[in-house]
A and B are shown apart, each in its own frame.
Chain A
């Protein structure tokens, strides 16, 4: 017997938790699944259970009601579990999620699945970006804030956006010597004035930004706009960084290069949504320029082109935790309405109110996306010998050769070179490949960008697929 429930939610970050709480309030039975040991996602990430802390962070205090909310009989929380596929079961006419992990059902079915898989740091390749010691802003946060581990002693940050400031402030606080924070965009203040309407009502966030700025100022960490790391060198690990000033298009200005010795380079060029499930299911996708990837098309209730499959939060469009929670509320209400658990009047009333708040959040995230876009020139930092696909160790030169053979899509490049075929399944390199393809073929990145994905979407031990261990009978 395959276990059934009313709603499966994949990802227990802010959006997934809120969707679960809202759905349970309306009377749905929910299974909430996450790959981490504890719920919270990246934004509300909790310390390991075995750790303790003398005071809780503001963020975790803010999330306390969500953590309490998901502790109730109609929500079954499955942590430390990987969902490696979603399939349509024509026999039951339900969606089926396939899981791996200790003590969990290998399959679960429901009429609706809310996908809330979040996002991860976007990568820009440059010479030496694959040396140990180059880490993402997300990794720096995990190590410092949740593990109490210094990623290194002497570091520089390079990238774009407010997450960089947060990571820098935490590194400084932990005692890392931070040489500087390089923001690849310039003219932020002038650009910011165009977006005053987006900032209205966002004072609490502005305050958060000022806090970071304050601790950086106190440590006299330079914040340089229009600069970027352009290469990293070292024997088997990071030893030296070279930075340069960028022109308006993001190309390094010759003569401005400076080198410094250090052991850690923290990069954060915005976020890449985790769209694996949407591609696996062949949902209708639309290219989104700010993220540089295809994102699922959604109706006003965050349902994808496939009835019963919902996409909320950063996995569908980068918008932050608050937006993810609002979208989760609407999606949960829609699932309830579709299964006749709530009346049309109630549903309309509830969603109309939230849609107002969503509009405000969208204005703010649109502003961030425009202020902190990636200037095009940064995509040309890699040299012919620079590794682009880290898993399969494919260089830029090999990718260019494949394109000159006639590769017209990212999938073609994958078929010719194996780039994007390794363990991470293109999570790191796919959007980079589309940029390389676009610049060589002189077409928009959207034109050649499609990377198919097949189950399992995460590496699963082969033993798992034997019939005795995955619970499939007949």
Chain B
């Protein structure tokens, strides 16, 4: 297992034009495809995957086509991943928890 603590450039940490900036929850450790990753309390599984540069969350059963976040609100079921051994969980509707084990299919970790 390798540990990656790189600050992700996909996380927005500067103030916007109205001076507003989001402060994340506490750092936690999760596992994505056998790699240990730092995430933050309150983040969605989909957010952490994007922050880690993973855009394909699963590949389609029939065609193998890549599938990732699309609607972002739990409607389209395009963002299904395996979480703690339970298959087909919506990444956009699930918050990360310390020790969570996430598996995606169809794309290697960059």
Contacts and interface: CB of A to CB of B under 8 A. Distances in A.
Nearest to A130: B65
B5 interface: no
Contacts of A221: none
B16 A173 contact: yes
Contact of B69 (A50, A139, A236, A461): A139
A208 B16 CA distance: 17
Contacts of A121: 71
B1 interface: no
Contacts of B25: 48, 50-51
A148 B70 contact: no
Contacts of B61: 393
B80 to A, nearest CB: 7
Main secondary structure of the interface of B (DSSP, over half): loop
A55 B21 CA distance: 8
A136 to B, nearest CB: 5
Interface in A384-436: 387, 390-393, 422-424, 427-428
Interface residues of B, number: 55
B22 A393 contact: no
Q: What range describes how many residues of A lie at the interface?
A: 35 or more
Nearest to B107: A236
B88 A423 contact: yes
B55 interface: yes
A144 B78 CA distance: 19
B72 A55 contact: no
Most buried by A among B42, B73, B92: B73
A424 B76 contact: yes
B94 to A, nearest CB: 10
A120 B73 contact: yes
Contacts of B71: 120-121, 135-136, 138-139, 428
A174 B12 contact: yes
Interface string B36-66: 0000111110110011000111001111011
Contacts of B66: 131-132, 236-237
Contacts of B19: 54-55
Contacts of B78: 130, 390
Interface in A128-174: 130-136, 138-144, 147-151, 173-174
A350 interface: no
Interface of A: 35, 37, 42, 47-55, 57, 120-121, 130-136, 138-144, 147-151, 173-175, 215, 236-237, 274, 387, 390-393, 422-424, 427-428, 459, 461
Given A148-B13, A150-B9, A393-B63, 17 more contacts: A50-B25, A50-B26, A55-B18, A55-B19, A132-B68, A135-B70, A139-B69, A143-B46, A143-B50, A149-B47, A150-B50, A387-B63, A390-B60, A392-B62, A393-B65, A423-B77, A424-B77
20 contacts: A50-B25, A50-B42, A51-B42, A53-B20, A53-B21, A53-B22, A120-B76, A132-B67, A138-B72, A147-B44, A148-B11, A148-B12, A150-B11, A175-B12, A387-B63, A390-B60, A392-B62, A393-B61, A424-B75, A427-B76
